[in-house]
């Protein structure tokens, strides 16, 4: 009897153990495992015909003409598809599904060296001020590239001021922000230093030369109540990232920036197919320089990464990166330094490989379950959902 009893108990415990293991295995190991659907929401091309959507930013609170959960999108090209000539920011309104023009800047803005070509450098502060980067061109290539600037807009999308200077040259990548309300610390990559035109060739490789002068710039702001943000200090915290002129993509350079709670800044180094980490980014006074073919600690390199561009945090404290050379996003665990998954969110067969050159900006939805992305070839705002 006792043997039978223990046998039954053993089977019961075994069944429970197997059930626990099954449930554990059924739990998603990463965010991308929960994503199954991809849909187009709206065209990002406004009335003036601007093309090539780049940056995405989800509004956190009602401010001026913007409403909580609206999605801002910048355009890098004009109606003739010349890069570095887009002047508009559009706003997608999820409650109606409509899209409207938020800002339309003068093409030849005198305060911005070279004019206006709006990049993926975009953020909206808690105080409502919008800050956007410009990497302008006259002919759509780096041959006529201006140094550009960071432009400050009010809550109605109107130009207020521009920040320029020797440390600002083609503000290119995502703006990572630590916003305290009355002050803020911003991080932006600068990719324009000494870039020639796209037809200048390295005599050895016969490709445009790689210039190891791209930087990450920290900008410390004070934000007086009801007044325009004041740029108090600029500090280069990382230098030596790869940049290269490109006929089809304008330029390659560090693009994705994501700030961790411990002050570590993660950067996508697109040309070198890497995600690196800059320690003590909020407080450091010196610049991390290039060493062992990278700037900063290498978190992930090669593998599923294929010209990594925009980057953001997703649930699980993982990083999600969009690929520039195919239509995939890649999930990375930065602590384990492990690539978890890649998922096709754009498998357009018109490009080879599918989705090549289509992806750029990323932004989480407010509920943390889905994410927005843009498709450059279709000029659309899209969403990936469970």
Higher-scoring residue by pLDDT: 43, 293: 43
Do 165 and 28 belong together in one domain? no
Do 181 and 312 belong together in one domain? yes
Average pLDDT over residues 24-51: 88
Total domains in the chain come to 2
Q: How far apart are CA 310 and CA 360, in angstroms?
A: 6
CA separation, residue 110 to residues 23, 159, 163, 241, 352 (Å): 61, 12, 12, 29, 40
Do 96 and 21 belong together in one domain? no
Do 180 and 68 belong together in one domain? yes
Average pLDDT over residues 310-319: 98
* Adjacent-strand bridge partners of 77: 51, 83
The least confident of 7-21, 39-53, 162-176, 223-237 is: 7-21
Q: How far apart are CA 97 and CA 74, in angstroms?
A: 18
Share of the chain above pLDDT 90, in %: 87
CA separation, residue 280 to residues 249, 266, 286 (Å): 32, 11, 10
Q: How far apart are CA 281 and CA 279, in angstroms?
A: 5
Do 49 and 15 belong together in one domain? no
- pTM for this prediction: 0.92
Q: How does the average pLDDT of the chain come out, rounded?
A: 92
* Phi, psi dihedrals of residue 97, rounded to the nearest 5°: 80, 5
pLDDT band for position 163 (cuts 50, 70, 90): very high
Note whether 385 and 34 are within 8 A (CB): no
Do 116 and 3 belong together in one domain? no
Is the predicted pLDDT of residue 129 greater than 60, yes or no? yes
Of residues 384, 376, 288, the one with CA closest to residue 331: 384
* Phi, psi dihedrals of residue 103, rounded to the nearest 5°: -145, 145
The edge-to-edge listing of strands for the beta sheet with 328-333 is 308-314, 318-323, 328-333, 338-344
Residue 129 CB partners (closer than 8 Å, separation 6+): 152, 153, 154, 155, 160, 223, 228, 229
Do 27 and 150 belong together in one domain? no
pLDDT band for position 214 (cuts 50, 70, 90): very high
Rg (C-alpha) for the chain, rounded Å, is 22
Determine the pLDDT at residue 8: 40
Do 106 and 230 belong together in one domain? yes
**Exposed / middle / buried, residue 339 (Cβ in 10 Å: 0-12, 13-18, 19+):** buried
Do 28 and 67 belong together in one domain? no
Total length of the chain = 386
The least confident of 28-32, 33-37, 102-106 is: 28-32
Is the predicted pLDDT of residue 370 greater than 50, yes or no? yes
Do 22 and 93 belong together in one domain? no
Q: What is the CATH number of the domain that holds 199?
A: 2.120.10.30
Structure tokens given for 256: 């994705």
Q: Which domain holds residue 82?
A: 35-385
Do 19 and 122 belong together in one domain? no
CB atoms within 10 A of CB 266: 25
Do 231 and 309 belong together in one domain? yes
* Adjacent-strand bridge partners of 243: 211
């Amino acid at each position: 009897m006792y043997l039978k009893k223990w046998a039954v108990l053993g089977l019961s415990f075994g069944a429970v153990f197997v059930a626990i293991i099954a449930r554990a295995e059924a739990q998603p190991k990463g965010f991308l495992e929960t994503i199954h659907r991809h849909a187009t929401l709206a065209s990002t091309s406004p009335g003036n015909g601007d093309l090539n959507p780049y940056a995405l930013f989800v509004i956190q609170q009602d401010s001026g003409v913007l409403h909580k959960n609206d999605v801002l999108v910048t355009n890098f090209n004009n109606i003739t598809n010349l890069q570095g000539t887009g002047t508009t920011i559009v706003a997608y309104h999820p409650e109606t599904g409509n899209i409207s023009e938020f800002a339309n800047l003068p093409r030849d803005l005198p305060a911005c060296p070279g004019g206006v070509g709006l990049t993926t450098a975009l953020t909206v502060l808690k105080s409502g001020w919008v800050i956007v980067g410009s990497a302008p061109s006259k002919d759509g290539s780096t041959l006529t590239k201006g140094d550009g600037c960071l432009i400050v807009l009010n809550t109605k999308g109107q130009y207020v001021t521009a920040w320029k200077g020797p440390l600002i040259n083609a503000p290119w990548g995502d703006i990572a922000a630590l916003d305290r309300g009355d002050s803020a610390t911003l991080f932006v990559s600068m990719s324009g230093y000494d870039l020639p035109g796209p037809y200048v060739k390295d005599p050895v490789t016969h490709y445009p030369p790689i210039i190891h002068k791209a930087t990450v710039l920290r900008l410390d702001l004070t934000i007086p109540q009801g007044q325009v943000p004041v740029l108090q200090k600029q500090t280069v915290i990382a230098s030596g990232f790869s940049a290269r002129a490109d006929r089809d993509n304008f330029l390659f350079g560090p693009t994705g920036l994501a700030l961790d709670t411990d002050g570590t800044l993660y950067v996508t180094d697109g040309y070198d197919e890497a995600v690196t980490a800059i320690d003590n980014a909020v407080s450091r006074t010196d610049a991390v320089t290039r060493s062992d073919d990278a700037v900063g600690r290498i978190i992930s390199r090669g593998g599923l990464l294929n010209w990594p561009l925009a980057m953001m945090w997703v649930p699980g404290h993982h990083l999600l990166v969009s690929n520039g050379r195919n239509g995939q996003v890649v999930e990375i665990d930065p602590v384990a330094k492990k690539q978890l998954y890649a998922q096709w969110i754009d498998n357009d067969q018109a490009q080879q490989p599918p989705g090549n050159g289509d992806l750029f900006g990323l932004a989480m939805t407010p509920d943390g379950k889905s994410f927005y992305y843009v498709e450059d070839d279709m000029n659309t705002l899209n969403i990936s959902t469970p």
